[in-house]
Structures are given as structure tokens and as C-alpha cells.
A and B are shown apart, each in its own frame.
Chain A
Amino acid sequence: MDTPQGQPGRHAVLHLTNQPGQVQQAESAVVQSLEALHYPKASVFAVRLALHEAIANAFRHGHRNLPPTTPVLVEFDCSPSRVEIIVADQGPGFDPHSVPDPTAEENLERGSGRGLLLIRSYMAEVEFTAPGNRLRMVYARPASA
């Protein structure tokens, strides 16, 4: 893990391959940083879920036609008031506006397509950089927490 600046573990750049252990390691690193900053349980839940969905989408969709050893970049920066996460894959990208609304009646029983909805629901800022293979998201700590 690279910790180029700030307190150890609160800012890190990771290069993950598609193995459960590596994805779990990234999630644990962020969770530990949030717990060290005394984020409430609900915040830790939200950030972990959004991170998990972002990494899962990167491998499942972005890297669908790439070798499984192709790394996804995950960068996070945790401060007492916000958490910024970047997840970048090496795939061709996608148009985030083209994803069908999974909450529409006709899509409710579809087996997939909810990851982006969850990310948008929990995160204060969500933006994709063209061509859509780099996601930047920010979690804002609730004022009362």
C-alpha cells in the first residue's frame, strides 16, 4: 500500500486484481481509516458498500474482456469530514446515463443493475470521467455525527 502523504492508511493508492482477498483488503483499509476517525457505523456501512459496488462494477463490466490480472486502481483519502474515493478501470468505459433505472416497475425483478443506484444514494458526489472508466465519489460525514 502506498501512503504518499498524510497519516498512514488515510490516503492510499491500491492496484487490485480480481481476487476476493484483494478486494476485501481494500475495503478493510478504508473501514479501518473511517473507524480511526470515529465515523459512525452507518457511515462505515455506506462507504464500504459504495466502494464494494464500484470495484465490483469495474471488474464485472469494465474488465469483462480483459485478463483477470488487469489491475483496477483504487485511491482513497479519508479526512474527519469527508471520504474521497477514486476507482479507475482499464476498460472501454460506459455512459452512466444509459443504465436503466432498477427501481422502475419493469426492472424491479432484474438480477443486476443496482450497484450504481446504491453508490449514488449514499455518496454526496459521484462523477465519471470520460470515457466512463474512472469514478470519483465523495462521502460527506453527516453534521450530527
Chain B
Amino acid sequence: MSSQEPRIRVKRADGVIHVEFVDRNILDEGNIQAIGEQIAALVDAEQTPKMLLSFANVEHLSSAALGQLITINNKIRARQGQLRLANIDPQIKEVFHITKLSKLFQIHDSTADAVGSFA
């Protein structure tokens, strides 16, 4: 188990778990692992999780972080849940396009758009 220091901020509204990242830079592998564990705990606590990950504070993100997002996405899908990403900086959005992960994730410009997209 890695650091227990909170790496995410969580709130719930209308059945959706809103997650914001504490770190501006999601690069360090220890932090990425901690983020994965903290989000996994949220997913595990729901029967069919609806989760919105907001990248509003995030300026840098590594390929290891992308791998962690894929793990989270798979975990949510295994529970017939839904994952949305929002508020992504244009440079980070380009990383999603380069890696073609923009095809895998539902990415929205704003929190409101993302919330409105949940089935």
C-alpha cells in the first residue's frame, strides 16, 4: 500500500461521484498508484458507479497515469458503471488524441456536459 495522503477530492451529487485531483502534476509513480487505490476504493463501494474525473487542476500527466485511468475504466465497466472525464487542459487532451485513448474514454469540455451525459 502506498501513501495514505489524499490525492483526490471527492464529492457526490445526484448519484455521481465527482473526483478532482489534488496534484497539478500526475507524474510520480507512487502518487499514481495512490490515486488508483483511492479511486478503486470509491468504485468498490458502489454497485453501479457513475464517476466524473475532473482534470481542472492538472497541468501534466504521464503515460503511467494513462495506464491507471484504463485500470479505473475497466473496473467501473466491470460493475456496469460509467466513467466520464472533464475539464482537461488542451495539451493533456492532445495526449489523449495521440494515444487514441480519446476513443476509449468519454471526454467532455465541462463538468455540466459530463454530468448531463450520464445515462
Residues of chain A touching chain B, judged by Cβ–Cβ distance below 8 Å, are 20, 23-24, 27, 41-42, 45-46, 48-49, 52-53, 56, 102-103, 108-112, 114-115, 117-118, 121
Contact = CB atoms under 8 A, between A and B. Distances in A.
Interface string B56-78: 00011011101110110010000
Main secondary structure of the interface of B (DSSP, over half): helix
Contact of A118 (B63, B70, B74, B104): B63
B47 interface: no
Given A42-B91, A49-B95, A118-B95, A112 B63 contact: yes
Main secondary structure of the interface of A (DSSP, over half): helix
Contact of B99 (A24, A42, A102): A102
6 contacts: A56-B62, A108-B100, A108-B104, A110-B67, A111-B68, A118-B63
Interface of B: 27-30, 59-60, 62-64, 66-68, 70-71, 74, 91, 95, 98-101, 103-104
A115 B64 CA distance: 8
B27 A52 contact: yes
